[in-house]
Amino acid sequence: MTSLVLPAIWLGKLLSILLRLAGRNATSLPGKMALRLSPKLLSVLGAKLDRCVVVTGTNGKTTTSSLLAGILNADEPIIHNREGANLPQGLTTAVLQHTTWFGTLRRKTALFEIDEATLPLVTRHLPVKVLVVTNVFRDQLDRYGELDTTVTKLLEGIRQTDAVLVVNGDDPLAKHIALHSGLRYRTYGLSTHHAEITHHDQMRDGAFCMQCGHELTYSGFFYGQLGLYHCPECGFSRTTPDFAGTYNGHTIAIDEDELPQVEFVLPSRGLYNVYNTLAAISAARLCGMNANGIAVGLAAYEAPLGRMQGFQTTPPSTLNLIKNPTGCDTVLQAILSEPGQKAVCIAINDLAADGKDVSWLWDAGFEQLTQSPDIRVCITTGLRAEDMALRLKYAGYPTDKILTAADLDAGLQLAFEQAESLGELDLYVLSTYTALYPTAAWLEKKVTLDAKTPLYRTSVS
C-alpha cells in the first residue's frame, strides 16, 4: 500500500460523513478528492475484491443492476453504486463506504452499473468476473456520438477484463460485441414465440450487419432492433439463447441448457423489464446463485428512481425516466398497456446530463399517445416544454388537450389538477435526467400532503 493510500481513505470517509451531516449528496465528491490525493486508490482497493460484476449498456442498466443486487445480497452483503454514480470517483466513493479506516474491505463482492462511455476508464482497475451488456441503442448524440462509437467504447472497456460476458442475444449489436470481445460469453433472450411478425413503424437502430454491412432481415421483432435477425450476406444471425425466457403475465420461466425449466415471479411490469429481469437472472446464475436465492432476491426488489416508480398520491402517479427513442417507446407501450384512463406529464430538459440535442424526441413514437383514447390530457414542462408540445402537435395529439408550463413545479401541479378534474385519472410522469430527482422529490412531498387528507389512498391497485 503506497504512502498516500491511507490518508486518501481517511479524506474520502471524512468527506462522506461531513456531506451527510450537511444533508448533501455524497456519491462522488469523496471519491474524487480521495483519487486526487492517491490516483491509484481505486486499483488498490479493487485488488482486494474477490470479484466484481459490471452491468453496462444503453437501456436497463439501473433496473438490471438493482435486480441483481437484490439477488446477490441474498447470498452475501455486496458493494453497489445504487445511486448510479459510475465515473471512477463514484465507484471509489461506493467502495470507501465499505472500507475501514485502516484500508480493509468489509465486503468482498462489488456490483457496479457503468455506462458505455465510462467503461474504458474503470474496468482496468477492477477484477471483473461477470460483465452484462443489456443492449446497444442510439443515445445522447452530443455525448456518445453514433452507434459505432458506442460499440467501440464498449469493446475497449470489455477487452480490459477477463470476464465472462452476459449479452442480450436478441440484440444484433450486443451479439456483435460478444463475438469480437475475445472473451467467453453467454446469451440471454426471449423465446421465439414472443416475437411479432408485423413490422411496426418504430425506429430501429442497428439495421445493418456490423460484420459485413449488409441490411439485416428479420423473421420477428421483440422491440427496437431486438428480434430474430439474420444477415443473408455473411450468415450472422441470432442463435438460441443460453438463457431463454418465456413470460406469461406476472411470471417468467427460464430454460438454461439441459437443466429443468425454472419459473420466477416478475418483480416489475413492462416488456423491457422482462429483459432486465432475464439479464439479472442470467448473471446471477453465472455468479453461482441457485433458483431459491434468485427468487428471494427478486422478491426483495424495490424499483429504482424513475423506473415505473409508483407514488401513493391522489390520484396515483408513476414516474419514468426517458432519454432516447427506443427507451421512450418502451415506456409509452408500458403505460398504454395499463388499464384505465390516464393523464401524461412530460418533463424535458436539455442540460448536459440530459443531452443538449433533443432531436431524439422526433424519433420517439409519441404517435402512440394519439392512437389511444385512454390518454385524456398531456402536460409538457421543463426547459424544453415548448419543443415537447410541438412534437405532440405533429404527432397528431389534439392541441386543445396539450397544456404547457415551463416551470417544473407549476407543470406538475397543473398535471395533478387536470388528472383530478377529469375524473381521478392515473397520472404518468415521463422525465429526462435532470428533472427526475426534483420530480421525485415533488411527488414524495405530495404523498406526505395527501396522507393528511381523507382522500389519500393507502394502496394503488
What is the chain's pLDDT, residue by residue, as a tens digit (461 residues)?
Answer: 567 999 999 999 999 999 888 877 778 899 999 999 999 999 999 999 999 999 999 988 989 999 999 999 989 999 999 876 778 888 999 999 999 999 999 999 999 999 888 999 999 999 999 999 999 987 654 444 578 888 999 999 999 999 999 999 999 999 999 999 999 999 999 999 898 876 555 556 668 898 899 999 999 999 888 999 999 999 999 999 999 999 988 899 999 987 788 999 998 878 888 999 999 999 999 999 999 999 999 998 887 787 888 899 999 999 999 988 888 998 998 899 888 999 999 999 999 888 888 999 999 999 999 989 999 999 999 999 999 999 999 999 999 999 999 999 999 999 999 999 998 899 999 999 899 999 999 999 998 776 654 433 222 22
Instruction: Mark whether 357 is an active-site residue.
Output: yes
Tens digit of pLDDT for each residue in 360-369? Answer: 999 999 999 9
Q: Residue 1: what pLDDT?
A: 54
Residue 78, C-alpha cell as written in the block: 455486496
Please identify which residue in the block is written with the cell numbers 428480434.
227
Which pLDDT score is estimated for 2? 64
**Is 231 marked as binding a ligand?**
yes
Domain spanning 309-451, CATH class: alpha beta
Residue 234 marked as a ligand binder: yes
Whether cis (ω within 30° of 0) applies to the bond prior to 315 is yes
Q: Any known ligand binding at 212?
A: yes
Distances (CA, A) of 141 to 173, 273, 324, 365: 17, 25, 10, 18
- CATH number of 51-80+107-299, picked from 3.30.70.1380, 3.40.50.12780, 3.30.1360.30, 3.40.1190.10: 3.40.1190.10
pTM, entire model: 0.83
**160-183: buried (b, 16+ CB within 10 Å) or exposed (e) per residue?**
bbebbbbbbbbbbbbbbbbeebee
Q: Does residue 204 sit in helix, strand or coil? A: coil
Give the residue extent of every domain in the chain: 51-80+107-299, 309-451
**Long-range contacts (CB closer than 8 Å, 24 or more residues apart) made by 390-394:** 391/361, 391/362, 391/366, 392/366
Radius of gyration of the chain (CA): 22
The answer to whether the annotation marks 287 as part of a ligand binding site is no
Using a 10 angstrom Cβ sphere, with 0-12 exposed, 13-18 middle and 19 or more buried, the burial of residue 191 is: middle
Residues 380/403, Cβ–Cβ less than 8 Å: yes
Q: Which of 50, 357, 407, 409 is catalytic?
A: 357
Q: For residue range 301-336, list pLDDT tens digits in order.
A: 887 787 888 899 999 999 999 988 888 998 998 899
Residues composing the chain:
461
User: b/e string for 15-31 if b means 16 or more Cβ within 10 A?
Assistant: bbeebeeeeeebbbbbb
